[in-house]
């Protein structure tokens, strides 16, 4: 279990953090004040609901995942294509490069907790063995529902290069990954990966895998920009003015994957409600959007389909195009695909 925590913060890392604008000498800060205080009086009621009131929070049957078709995924394409595996795990093919974002494909999002948080789908870890070589792996932040030890062990022989938030590299180092393959990013940092421009964007969130490393690595989202396409993965975080800034600096976006799920009034500043997810995409000037961070785990007290239903309701009201494919489905961004509301079948 000790290995699950990842790497410890070192003095050398702290010296590196001192050069980062949103490091205050002890921790990384959000762009605007973000309280994560939790009332002690509210805790018993919250814990009871979290662990005892589970009706509707998980699907009644396991969510099926479509088989991976390697040939179709690697086939030449003018525009990007992607496969979503629930929660925030996303496999992208863009400019003949394979990119994997937040590949938490393991069975449990709470590996160090006394109670497990089981995945809504089965066999996802085995998918990694079927994947082609991963040209670039992007990590938004180091929380357990995004950075998973079991998944990383399977991925180790496949990944050619890593782009990660500042401080996240120490976990990969602890787990035996070659540090020469890892590039760490501050917000707004831009690097070219072959003919793709990759930019790390701010979010309003936090980080940490243990008691002593809270906010001691960075959290963010990713922009993937080619000569003909501009895509954005929002990353975890609450609503804020940074979305308009992202749109102004880096938009408009042809497609955006928006965090939408695992929200609660007790942590409303660090996770968006569905109406905020849609508004954030509008602020950032995204033309077509998709909710992620749902259909994987029950980490909050809402019904498991509430995020997507409310996201779609808001998107339709605000006249913005949306998509929510099945898990494992190959989506071509040059095709006009509509949502088939698959979750209502379960």
Residue 97 · residue 193 · CB < 8 Å: yes
The pLDDT, as a whole number, for residue 2 is 79
DSSP 8-class letter at 325: P
* Separation between Cα atoms, residue 2 and residue 181, nearest integer Å: 24
Nearest to 194 by CA among 221, 164, 165, 224: 224
* Separation between Cα atoms, residue 166 and residue 184, nearest integer Å: 5
Q: Name which CATH class applies to 61-338.
A: alpha beta
* C-alpha 53: how far from chain center: 26
Residue 186 · residue 166 · CB < 8 Å: yes
The pLDDT, as a whole number, for residue 35 is 86
DSSP 8-class letter at 8: P
For the chain, the structural domain boundaries read: 61-338
Instruction: Please report, in tens digits, the pLDDT of each residue of the chain (346 residues total).
Output: 679 999 999 999 999 999 999 999 999 999 999 987 665 566 667 666 666 677 899 999 999 999 999 999 999 999 999 999 999 999 999 999 999 999 999 999 999 988 899 999 999 999 999 999 999 999 999 999 999 999 999 999 999 999 999 999 999 999 999 999 999 999 999 999 999 999 999 999 999 999 899 999 999 999 999 999 999 999 999 999 999 999 999 999 999 999 999 999 989 999 999 999 999 999 999 999 999 999 999 999 999 999 999 999 999 999 999 999 999 999 999 998 889 999 999 9
C-alpha atoms less than 13 angstroms from C-alpha of 297 in its C-beta half-sphere: 25
Residue 297 · residue 113 · CB < 8 Å: no
* Separation between Cα atoms, residue 262 and residue 304, nearest integer Å: 9
The pLDDT, as a whole number, for residue 43 is 64
Nearest to 259 by CA among 291, 232, 281: 291
Q: Angle at which helices 274-283 and 242-250 pack, to 10 degrees?
A: 30
Coil, strand or helix at 345:
helix
């Amino acid at each position: 279990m000790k290995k699950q925590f990842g790497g410890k913060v070192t003095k050398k890392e702290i010296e590196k953090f001192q050069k980062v604008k949103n490091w205050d000498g002890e921790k990384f800060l959000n762009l605007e004040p973000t309280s994560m205080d939790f009332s002690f009086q509210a805790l018993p009621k919250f814990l009871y609901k979290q662990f005892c009131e589970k009706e509707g929070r998980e699907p009644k049957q396991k969510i099926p995942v479509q088989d991976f078709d390697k040939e179709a995924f690697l086939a030449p394409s003018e525009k990007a294509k992607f496969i979503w595996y629930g929660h925030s795990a996303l496999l992208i093919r863009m400019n003949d490069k394979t990119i994997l974002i937040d590949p938490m494909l393991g069975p449990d999002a709470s590996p160090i907790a006394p109670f497990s948080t089981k995945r809504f789908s089965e066999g996802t870890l085995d998918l990694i063995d079927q994947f082609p070589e991963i040209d670039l792996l992007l990590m938004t932040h180091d929380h357990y529902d995004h950075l998973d030890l079991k998944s990383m062990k399977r991925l180790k022989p496949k990944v050619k290069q890593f782009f990660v938030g500042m401080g996240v590299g120490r976990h990969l180092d602890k787990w035996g990954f070659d540090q020469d393959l890892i590039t760490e990013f501050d917000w707004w940092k831009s690097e070219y990966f072959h003919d793709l421009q990759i930019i790390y964007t701010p979010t309003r969130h936090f980080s940490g895998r243990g008691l002593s490393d809270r906010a001691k690595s960075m959290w963010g989202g990713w922009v993937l920009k080619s000569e003909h396409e501009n895509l954005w993965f929002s990353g975890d975080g609450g609503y804020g003015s940074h979305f308009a800034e992202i749109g102004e600096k880096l938009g408009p976006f042809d497609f955006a994957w928006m965090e939408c799920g695992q929200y609660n009034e007790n942590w409303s500043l660090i996770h968006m409600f569905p109406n905020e997810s849609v508004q954030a995409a509008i602020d950032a000037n995204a033309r077509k959007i998709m909710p992620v961070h749902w259909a994987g785990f029950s980490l909050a007290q809402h019904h498991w389909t509430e995020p997507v239903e409310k996201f779609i309701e808001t998107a339709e009201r605000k006249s913005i195009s949306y998509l929510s494919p099945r898990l494992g489905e190959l989506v071509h961004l040059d095709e006009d695909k509509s949502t088939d509301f698959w979750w209502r079948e379960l």
